[in-house]
Amino acid sequence: MKAVYFRRFGGPEVLEFDELPEPTLGPHGVLVATRAAAVNPLDWKAREGLLAPMADAVFPVVGGFDVAGTVERVGVSVTEFAPGDEVLGYVWQDVVRCGTFAELVVAPARTLVRKPSALTWEEAAALPLAGLAAYQSVVHRLRVRRGETVLVHAAAGGVGLFAVQLARLRGAEVIGTAGEHNHDFLRALGVRPVAHAGALAERVRQLAPEGVDAVLDAVGRRALRASRELLRPGGRLVSLVEPRVTELGGSYLFARPDAADLTELARLAAKRELAVEVARTFPLEQAAQAQQLLREGHTRGKLVLSLGG
């Protein structure tokens, strides 16, 4: 099978595109023929070795965590899926080895859900990791409620776009930081945008003089420091990028595969209550270019590798 993989940690230059053996299907796994795979910050972090403290790498490592495709075969214990089923999933495993940037992927059955027919392959691939990070932050950790004011940093990014929509669906007022070129786009989603540079706290205060009830941080650094001073008494703070947020009284979230959460996200997306913004697609062999573009920032929504077929 064709795959994008790396034999050592490093920059985009370590990525190779070539033939690899088909992955072994274990008793609890599902062999998926990939139709599309999204690109996430987690991909370049894995490639650079930044996930080493939480997941051993077994080289060669096939990159990728998001997948949408068709079931080819199932392991002997799997009853949830059958050959021909269309699925999507966030394929996290505690060993970084067999990812989704390949024509064939073995995914634990617990990481997959059925793909709604209303979603394109690219939309389906763009949903799992970023959608779960947003859903688990907004719904489970921040527990956003109607009438609250929520601040979302990097509101036009992969996670941010899902987060602002989920918060709006729950009846919250949403303020989102983003580059000015994305402000009109956010306004169309019912979000009040603010520039993320300069006097951030002061600009947010102009929109929410009494502060905000909840903050979702996908930026860290200065944005995280400003967030703490913007919280009302009893406010909640979640960061997706900075574990030390606990020192500020907040909590750190690393998205986990969850079939119930992902099924709900897919349902909302299929009903077009949750828009999936695919900024650009690339062929599989251009995974390095896609990762570098994402690494540099400036992307609205998601980048997706499309395998066609």
Place of tokens 């634990």: 108
**Nearest to residue 87, comparing CAs of 63, 55, 111?**
111
Residue 2 gets the label, from left (phi > 0), alpha (psi -120 to 50) or beta, of beta
Overall average pLDDT of the 185-206 stretch:
91
The confidence band for 118, taking pLDDT boundaries of 50, 70 and 90, is very high
Cβ 34 vs Cβ 100: under 8 Å:
yes
Cβ 112 vs Cβ 89: under 8 Å:
yes
Domain boundaries, the chain: 2-127+277-306, 130-252
Residue 76 gets the label, from left (phi > 0), alpha (psi -120 to 50) or beta, of alpha
Overall average pLDDT of the 21-36 stretch:
97
pLDDT tops 70 at residue 138: yes
State residue 298's pLDDT score: 64
87: which strand partners?
69, 114
CATH match of 2-127+277-306 with 3.40.50.300: no
pLDDT tops 90 at residue 182: yes
Same fold, 2-127+277-306 and 130-252: no
pLDDT tops 90 at residue 199: no
* Chain segment 57-98, per-residue pLDDT in tens: 999 999 999 999 999 999 999 999 999 999 999 999 999 999
Q: Which of 135-139, 226-230, 271-275, 297-301 has the lowest mean pLDDT?
A: 297-301
pLDDT tops 90 at residue 282: yes
**Amino acid, single-letter form, for residue 109:** A
**Where does residue 125 rank: exposed (0-12), middle (13-18), buried (19+ CB within 10 A)?**
buried
Homologous superfamily, domain 130-252: NAD(P)-binding Rossmann-like Domain (3.40.50.720)
State residue 129's pLDDT score: 98
State residue 7's pLDDT score: 98
Cβ 253 vs Cβ 141: under 8 Å:
yes
Whole-model pTM? 0.97
C-alpha distances out from residue 44 to 89, 124, 294, 296, 303, Å: 19, 21, 9, 11, 13
Residues ≥6 apart with Cβ < 8 Å to 257: 89, 90, 91, 92, 108, 110, 111, 132
Residues ≥6 apart with Cβ < 8 Å to 195: 177, 178, 179, 180, 203
State residue 11's pLDDT score: 95
* Chain segment 228-274, per-residue pLDDT in tens: 889 999 999 999 999 999 998 999 999 999 999 999 999 999 999 99
